[in-house]
Structure 1
Amino acid sequence: MKKHASSGRATCEGGLTGRLLKLSIAGRLDAASVARLWPVVHRLLGHKGIEAIVVDGSGIQYCDGAGTGLLVCIRQTARRLAAHLEFNGLSEEVAGLLSLYPVERILASEKPPPKRTGDLVVQIGKTFWTTLIGLKEHVAFAGELTVGLAKALLHPRSLRTKDFLLVTEASGPQALPIIIMLGFLVGLIMAFQGAVLMKQFGAEIYIADFVGISVTRELGPLITAIIVAGRTGSAFAAELGTMKVNEEIDALTTMGLDPVRFLVIPRVLAATLMTPLLAVLTNIAGFLGGAVVMVGLQFPMVTYVNRLLGAVATADYLGGLAKALVFGLLIAAAGCNCGLRTGEGASAVGRSATRAVVSSITLIVIADGIFAVLFFYLGI
């Protein structure tokens, strides 16, 4: 049995005789040729019952680091199979390259696979400890953020105005197209769904009440917060995470500058102020979506507007804006916190952005539930 592979400048022939595997390698062993020879060598070495391997390297004309890696791989495979290995015909140059990678050094560099523990108690303890560490970091960040916001409000000149305006533009005006489109579609869908139900009772006029209250109190702030979380919160986490990976945040700390004041406070204030304004635009777009349905049902526009003005009270507007304000603060804080806690490596930035979106949406849902209970007991 023989197998042969040719890369134009290098060849590999192999045959299995009983329990003896004979390999004959010839040509130029460079990166291009070794890439083609490697799969063939792996297939030959994968036969069962191999007890001895003989490699004929008399035909090797050139060998670089890639070729040396192939020979080292053959040697390591023979060791793993507990098979006797013999290199024949290697030139002094190739033998010298192979001697640079002694077996002892490779064994010392190999890391044993991590031990898996099946102890459920240990796993629960590790998870609990990790949760406590994360909670401690969240509390510490919340304290730093509170102090920083208080200083910024008491001393407005300490705020970096240029950065604040840039972040405000990115968080607010640049998000208008998607906010308006989603708000319009939400109002349109809610009006259509309400029309299907209310048409059975001849109460299509109450579609305006349904759209106005649901959009103003709940859907407007909630849709806005989700868009801000996916767009702005993830951007904050990615920006600060990249700075953390590039050690720019460590450089600020080394120079005696507070990263929370220079990086976090402008972002938190910008997102907190922009989210209620975006929620107002979402509400208006939702009202327009409901108006399209009402006009399609042959209701005059003035009737729809009058129903909205009568159904939606001032408390509904203010409650929705209060929700949006809190949502914006939570989203910005979660995004900045995840960015500052980014680990090492490029993939850590992606994980931070994902963690920021998940954390933001979780906090939004929890805060929305708290608002629902609060509004219920306040009779709003």
Structure 2
Amino acid sequence: MDPTPGMATARIEAQTEGESRVLRATGRLDTEAAARLWPTAMKAAEGAPIVALDLAGLEAIDSAGAVMLLTAAPDAELRGAPDHAVALLERTRKALGTIPPPGPPAPWHPITAIGRATVNRGRDTVAGIAFIGEAVVTTLRVLTRPRLLRLADVLRHLDEVGTRAFPLTLLLGFLIGVILAYQSSIPLRRFGAEVFVPNLVGISLLRELGPLLAGVVLAGRTGSAFAAELGTMTVNEEVDALKIMGVDATAMLVLPRLVAATIAMPVLALLMNVAGLAGMTLIMGTLGYPWASVQSQLQQWLSLQDLAGGLFKAACFGLVIAGIGCRAGLSAGRGPRAVGDAATAAVVGGIVAIVVMDGVFAVLFFRLGI
């Protein structure tokens, strides 16, 4: 209500009538008065319950004042309230009963925050293990019932993961070969050992950089796409609809992507290696070393075991990246940022996972003498 000159300052006090307590409000109970009197009203509400609200001296009230009164005495009887106040209090009572107002933000406590983060991380870990178990069980089911795996979906994802990524992979591999050749020739030139640049670049590409960079390309290009696509289906409740209809969502949505990424990653890593060696050969030619010299060094120092080890790592990287992307999409929330968060989680999780796996493989291969 609009302010009117001559209206009294709002006051609120608790009075005792026998064994009952009455909360009396007078004056203009607007937003400013409610903010000033809120601690007093909450303190008055402590102890014995308030059975009545005496509003005979109330001159004006708005929604903030009504919320304060109903918070202090939600079940109290109204006494002497003007008609407009009664109507406002009833409307406010109904609104508070349907949608409760948000409470004050909880104070930040470091120990509580650490505990909450630990519990959330534990739940995510358990959910990830459950996803892996479900994928393994579905794979075993498909081995006994191959018709559950839709070949058309596998071929479609192979085209998305592999064929459409060829240009980017070739370009990136060629540039990496050029960079490695130039940068490694600078220190080796001091010792007259530029002829060993093909050895350095070839071993680095086949054993480490080829699979690793192909995995980065797959995580940024395909892992995010898997997460965004499945995240959109989750937000639109399409995945829930499949489960309600009795369709195995893992076999239909996840398994074809896992198979496609596992098959396509070694091919991408091989293309990365070939393009990198081509870029290195071009630079070696500009430095005065013919193709025959480069070929001799590569044949002398590279082996099929180096290539096989790199392709095996690439297949493992593809399986993990696709799994992380699918898991991020299927666990997306329901808000407007759910799909973006899922895609971000897929890219970050995929890159971190392949770097950690590459370190594990490096230690394992060293111990095994591979």
TM-score (norm 1): 0.73
Query: Which residue number corresponds to residue 288 of structure 2?
Result: 298
1:234 to 221, 224, 247: 224
Q: Which moved more, 1:128-137 or 1:319-328?
A: 128-137
SS in structure 2 of the partner of residue 201 of structure 1:
coil
1:362 to 335, 347, 352: 352
SS in structure 2 of the partner of residue 115 of structure 1:
coil
Query: Which residue number corresponds to residue 310 of structure 1?
Result: 300
What's the CA shift for 1:356?
A: 1.0
What's the CA shift for 1:130?
A: 1.5
Letter in structure 2 aligned against 1:232: T
The answer to whether structure 1 residue 192 and structure 2 residue 182 are counterparts is yes
1:170 to 160, 163, 171: 160
For 1:146-295, list aligned pairs within 5 A: 146-295=136-285
SS in structure 2 of the partner of residue 307 of structure 1:
helix
The answer to whether structure 1 residue 114 and structure 2 residue 105 are counterparts is yes
CA RMSD of aligned residues (A): 2.8
SS in structure 1 of the partner of residue 337 of structure 2:
helix
**Identity across the alignment (%):** 43
Cα deviation digits, residues 53-97 of structure 1 (max 9, x gap): xxxxxxxxxxxxxxxxxxxxxx65674467x9799xxxxxxx9xx
How far apart, in 1, do the equivalents of 2:369 and 2:141 lie?
Answer: 35
Gaps of 5+ in 1: 1-19, 23-50, 53-74, 88-94
Q: Which moved more, 1:286-295 or 1:304-313?
A: 304-313
Q: Does the CA contact (< 8 Å) of 1:186 and 1:286 recur in 2?
A: yes
Question: CA separation of 1:247/1:198 partners in 2, compared to 1, >3 Å: closer, same or farther?
Answer: same
For 1:53-132, list aligned pairs within 5 A: 76=31, 79-80=34-35, 102=91, 104=93, 109-118=100-109, 120=111, 122-132=112-122
Q: Does the CA contact (< 8 Å) of 1:237 and 1:356 recur in 2?
A: yes
How far apart, in 1, do the equivalents of 2:61 and 2:128 lie?
Answer: 60
TM-score (norm 2): 0.75
What's the CA shift for 1:148?
A: 1.8
Gaps of 5+ in 2: 11-29, 38-58, 63-83
Letter in structure 1 aligned against 2:102: K
What's the CA shift for 1:102?
A: 4.8
What's the CA shift for 1:163?
A: 1.0
1:327 to 317, 323, 326: 317
Aligned pair count reads: 304
Question: CA separation of 1:202/1:330 partners in 2, compared to 1, >3 Å: closer, same or farther?
Answer: same
How far apart, in 2, do the equivalents of 1:117 and 1:333 lie?
Answer: 35
Cα deviation digits, residues 117-154 of structure 1 (max 9, x gap): 4251x333222222221111111111111122233344
Query: Which residue number corresponds to residue 133 of structure 2?
Result: 143
Query: Which residue number corresponds to residue 71 of structure 2?
Result: none
Question: CA separation of 1:230/1:77 partners in 2, compared to 1, >3 Å: closer, same or farther?
Answer: farther
Query: Which residue number corresponds to residue 368 of structure 2?
Result: 378
Q: Which moved more, 1:242-251 or 1:123-132?
A: 123-132
